[in-house]
Amino acid sequence: MIVDFFFIGLFFIGIGFLNAFILKRHPNINAFYCAIPTEKKKDVDIAGLAAFTKKGFIILGTMFIVLPFILKIFHLEEAYGFLILFMALGWGMLMHIKTIKYYKYNEKNNKIYVCVLFGIITSIILLLILLIEYTQR
Indicate the pLDDT class of residue 118, thresholds 50, 70 and 90. confident
CA 31 – CA 20 distance, rounded (Å): 15
Q: Which domain holds residue 43?
A: 2-135
Indicate the pLDDT class of residue 111, thresholds 50, 70 and 90. low
Q: To the nearest whole number, what is the mean pLDDT of the chain? A: 78
The phi and psi torsions of 41 (rounded to 5 degrees) equal -65, -25
Q: For residue 11, what pLDDT is reported?
A: 92
C-alpha distances (whole Å) from 107 to each of 1, 12, 44, 81 are 48, 34, 13, 41
As for how many domains the chain has, the answer is: 1
The 10s digit of each residue's pLDDT in 27-41 is 887 767 777 778 878
Q: For residue 13, what pLDDT is reported?
A: 93
One DSSP character per residue, 72-107 reads HHTT-GGGHHHHHHIIIIIHHHHHHHHGGGGB--SS
The 10s digit of each residue's pLDDT in 120-136 is 777 777 767 766 766 66
